[in-house]
Structure 1
Amino acid sequence: MSSDWDDWLPRAVAAAEPDTVACWYLGCNGFAIKGAEGTVLWIDPYVGLGDPPRTVRMIPVPFDPEDVEHADAVLATHEHTDHVHGPSQAPILENTGAEFIGPDDTIAVAREEESWSEDYDVETEQFLEVAEGDEVRVGEFTVHVVETYDPDSTHPVGYVIEHESGTLFHAGDSKPSPSFESLGERFDIDLGILAFGSIGNVADKETGEPVRTKWYSDENEIIEAASTLELDRLVPTHWDMWKGLTADPTVLHKHTASFEYPCHLEIVEIGDRIDL
């Protein structure tokens, strides 16, 4: 996939020397995360264009996966195309030797449906299947695989990522989950990444007829989730991606006003860097 931005974003990640943990928003629900010791995680990186006219990408393609030379692991939260996608992720594994980490249905898409090992120089040993309750050490990060709630997915998970500088949580496309209360009690989450979007009409795959579609948390649900998780900082994502489902995250300032958590709302745009 050809990038609209040339290679500056992978170069920025490679050149960065964060004092704590740096996170670059890739648009959609993707992040590149780099620790002070140089460990690099990519979570749900997606540079595809969707499936026009059903799903139409509304933001630039920020990098070419062929330009990524630094990755220790690529984490996927669930099996949907904008979270596990061969052209977006397999070249990263090919170039870096990184592991691809995800739940069973996600690994099945990569290994069986898309046959990454046949179409790319990706070894079987690079696939690591995980499930809720698992703990994986990747360089300076400890990754906890946790339960989430995404009824549109067959098997979603979230990742609580601990570092000596702090803890972040990537919930994939989860809406408020019964698991969040216990996660909020167990972990002191400094930065939470939660999907947010509007309700809109999306063409049915079979008929092409518009169907009222709600894939992500609305304004009230995302604040409910952030409050239950007791987030210090909330970063809403996915609001920028699909035509008809985009949303304005600045409205969340009003929704957070009367709640103790999240303490801070941080609005990031594609390409932005934030630090723990």
Structure 2
Amino acid sequence: MSAHLTATTLSAPLAERLACEPLREAGEVALFWLGQAGFVLEAAGQRLLIDPYLSDSLAAKYAGSPTPHQRMMPIPVAPEAIGRVDAVLLTHRHTDHMDADTLQPLARRFRRLRFVAPAAEGAEALRRADIEPGRLLAVDAGERHDILPGIAIGVARAAHETLERDAEGCHRFLGFAVEAEGVTVFHSGDTVPFPGQAEEVAAFRPDIALLPVNGRSPALAAAGIAGNLDAAEAAELCRAAGIPAMLAHHYGMFAFNSAEPAAIDAVAATAAPLGMERARTGLEYRLRTAPRLG
């Protein structure tokens, strides 16, 4: 099977859409981009958040520094305004992916909310979300977990910009393959290319990939800021892993570490047969299963 991707413009603010029940119809997955690497994923009567950064905490942290983290896009929905959340997936500890000012309001509002994070960063995830250990599922690359009724995740390695492990050998950077409604959505986390990556990702048989495209540079590396795939590398990963569709993200948030929309669109225009699009706020993406050709 594969999935057919469509996009429709939201007729109301995202908070109003996320207050709606019921969720998607059977056999359908919905995605909403939250900016940076953040997504809402709805499927099987469940709602997941992946790497939500829904605050302005980094602007305060880096005020007056050479890399000011002023948001280029508004917060699309406040943590206090999301209708409900059943699980939050966190790929690594960087604050634009594991943000205390986003996670703690969610944890307080939804007392049964579960969090999934790298085992290598388990203690940090507990601290930032301010939750008890029983609410955290600590995972590592190579594992598969049923996290909610109708939803499972496969866990992959990521290299941001290296394949780092902790003292116990657990990977610090992860990607997640979310399986629901016969569809597999692969979120790579922050990553650059590394040997064996395409084969590892291909094993999940993703129908769509959510990949960063802000790239990397010696200047950012010298400032201690790890980079990611650029748009061409992201498209090549999809081709090598046999992924038919892609949403490009991790751009348009911080001016010093972004990618030009026109440059992303130029790669997308020549990426066929890959269906590559630049993720946009204000849209609802829907995936429905369809027979896979070939």
* The two structures share one fold, judged by TM-score above 0.5: yes
TM range (shorter): 0.7 to 0.9
Could you tell me which amino acid in structure 1 is paired with residue 277 of structure 2?
A: E
Supply the distance in 1 between the matched residues of 2:201 and 2:125 (Cα, whole angstroms): 32
Deviations 1:192-221 (A, max 9, x none): 0111115579789xxxxx849662222332
| Cα distance change, pair 229–252 in 1 and its aligned pair in 2 (3 A) | farther
SS of equivalent residue, structure 2 residue 80: helix
Q: CA deviation at 1:186?
A: 1.8
Work out whether 1:13 is the aligned partner of 2:18.
Answer: yes
| Cα distance change, pair 158–214 in 1 and its aligned pair in 2 (3 A) | closer
Instruction: Give 1:96-175 correspondences, 5 Å limit.
Output: 96=110, 97-112=112-127, 114=128, 116-117=129-130, 122-137=131-146, 138-151=148-161, 154=164, 155-175=172-192
Supply the distance in 1 between the matched residues of 2:70 and 2:220 (Cα, whole angstroms): 11
Deviations 1:171-209 (A, max 9, x none): 0111123343223442321110111115579789xxxxx
Deviations 1:81-111 (A, max 9, x none): 1111111112212212211101023322232
Work out whether 1:180 is the aligned partner of 2:189.
Answer: no
Choose from 184, 190, 194 the match for 2:211.
194
Counterpart in 1 of 2:74?
A: 60
Supply the distance in 2 between the matched residues of 1:222 and 1:77 (Cα, whole angstroms): 18
Alpha carbons 2:178, 2:184 under 8 Å: kept: yes
| Cα distance change, pair 106–62 in 1 and its aligned pair in 2 (3 A) | farther
SS of equivalent residue, structure 2 residue 35: coil
Supply the distance in 2 between the matched residues of 1:235 and 1:187 (Cα, whole angstroms): 17
Could you tell me which amino acid in structure 2 is paired with residue 127 of structure 1?
A: L
SS of equivalent residue, structure 2 residue 211: strand
| Cα distance change, pair 48–179 in 1 and its aligned pair in 2 (3 A) | farther
Counterpart in 2 of 1:3?
A: none
How many percent identity over aligned positions?
Answer: 25
Work out whether 1:22 is the aligned partner of 2:39.
Answer: no
Deviations 1:100-148 (A, max 9, x none): 1010233222324x4x43xxxx333111111112212122211111112
Supply the distance in 2 between the matched residues of 1:199 and 1:56 (Cα, whole angstroms): 19
Could you tell me which amino acid in structure 2 is paired with residue 102 of structure 1?
A: A
Supply the distance in 2 between the matched residues of 1:163 and 1:26 (Cα, whole angstroms): 20
| Cα distance change, pair 260–186 in 1 and its aligned pair in 2 (3 A) | farther
| Cα distance change, pair 185–191 in 1 and its aligned pair in 2 (3 A) | closer
Supply the distance in 1 between the matched residues of 2:225 and 2:53 (Cα, whole angstroms): 21
SS of equivalent residue, structure 1 residue 94: helix
Q: CA deviation at 1:253?
A: 4.8
Counterpart in 2 of 1:40?
A: 47
Q: CA deviation at 1:255?
A: 3.4
Work out whether 1:82 is the aligned partner of 2:99.
Answer: no
Alpha carbons 1:32, 1:42 under 8 Å: kept: yes
Could you tell me which amino acid in structure 2 is paired with residue 141 of structure 1?
A: I
Alpha carbons 1:200, 1:244 under 8 Å: kept: no
| Structure 1 gap segments, 5+ residues each | 1-6, 205-209
Counterpart in 1 of 2:290?
A: none
Supply the distance in 1 between the matched residues of 2:45 and 2:151 (Cα, whole angstroms): 11
Choose from 87, 93, 96 the match for 1:73.
87
TM-score normalised by structure 1 residue count:
0.82
Q: CA deviation at 1:232?
A: 1.1
Supply the distance in 1 between the matched residues of 2:220 and 2:275 (Cα, whole angstroms): 36
